[in-house]
Amino acid sequence: MGSIFNKKYHKKLMINKYISTLVVAKTVIAAFTLYFFAIYLGWDMYNYPDFYLVFNKCSADGYSNILYGKLFCSLNSITGMDFSHKSKIFILIAMIINMLLLIGYYKIFEKYLNKYGKYLIITLFVFHPYMNIYFFRFYTDLFACIGIFLMFYYTINNKKVDGFFILSALILINFRVALIPVFFLYSLLEIYQRFSKNDSTFRAIILLIISLSSLIPVLEFSMKFAQINSDLGLLYKITHNTIFTFGFREAIANSVIGGGVFIAGNQFLDYLSFLVSISLLLVHVIGLIGIIKFSMNEKTLILVLFAYIAIPILTIAHMRYLLPLMPILLFGFTYLFFGRNKLRQL
């Protein structure tokens, strides 16, 4: 009896050790990344033109992500203060949410990885440069990250769509409209699965209705977005946008589209940025292969989450659209090499 207790205690201690390492290391490295770009290089790390052009106009007409704009407009109106995505409280909130998401992902992933895989996934979480850049940003992408995690959690744990899921979907969709296609497909597959098992499809149908009805207020915006780069060939867009999505941040992607490659004006930073982009492209693509393999073994429904990048790839895309899927891709990368079936270790 004592031996069983000691094993459970040791396992719990190891889990706490991994999570503590993740929390401390991620906070330090993300803070260093922010310092390097903002202080050392002097870049504006919170440059968010859409916030001032759209979201703080306090009008729901003609734009998406309605709740995001309403959040700041309501706070400013109630408090008489000038809140924005740059406010310290929202930087702190973004950090807390992103950290909780990483912890949540780690707790899901750990049972599928051996000891070396656990160390690798933590290392990738901690040092991923793009995830570090967005770690302190309270942008609309943060709500996409929450939405993707919600669907991943329910899928991997065989949880049915419930009231909490439906309410969360309604809120998250109106914070980040790009989630609509994912929730729409998720609800369709949920209906199919429940129907084939003679189970109730009522909640899944409610989710489907919410997904479709949420599209109505932003239909005009969605049509305009779909027309971006409509003059380019389909094969060209898919090829280039896929590359940009899996490895290149917005400034570099736009520079390449414009006929350039480097944009920093500093030769060292130009080449460093390009090498980092190529490295991220390889990791993400290999991660996609890994997550496809994992999904085939575990839950094929996981692949529905990648509908999030389907429309951007057909229009205009860069790595920001991949942000909510990055933890899953990093797991896919790790799973290929250090899945628990590769080497059974605690």
Cβ–Cβ contacts within 10 Å for residue 29, how many?
17
Sign of the dihedral through C-alpha 132, 138, 143, 149: positive
| In a domain? residue 221 | yes
The predicted-structure confidence for 295-342, as pLDDT tens digits, reads as follows 998 889 999 999 999 988 888 778 999 999 999 999 999 999 998 875
| In a domain? residue 226 | yes
Q: Identify the residue whose tokens are 């790390």.
A: 45
| In a domain? residue 343 | no
| In a domain? residue 120 | yes
Listed residue (145, 117, 120) closest to 325, CA to CA = 145
Domain that holds residue 269: 2-338
CB 99 within 8 A of CB 131: no
The predicted-structure confidence for 308-318, as pLDDT tens digits, reads as follows 999 888 887 78
Listed residue (281, 289, 291, 274) closest to 327, CA to CA = 291
Residue 259's pLDDT is: 42
| In a domain? residue 163 | yes
| In a domain? residue 186 | yes
Q: Quick one: pLDDT band at residue 258, thresholds 50, 70, 90? A: very low
Q: Quick one: pLDDT band at residue 5, thresholds 50, 70, 90? A: very low
Q: Quick one: pLDDT band at residue 64, thresholds 50, 70, 90? A: confident
The predicted-structure confidence for 190-240, as pLDDT tens digits, reads as follows 999 888 888 888 999 999 999 998 888 776 666 666 666 666 777 877 888
Residue 58's pLDDT is: 77
Give the global pTM: 0.89
| In a domain? residue 346 | no
Number of domains forming the structure of the chain: 1
| In a domain? residue 263 | yes
The predicted-structure confidence for 146-187, as pLDDT tens digits, reads as follows 999 999 999 999 999 999 999 999 999 999 999 999 999 999
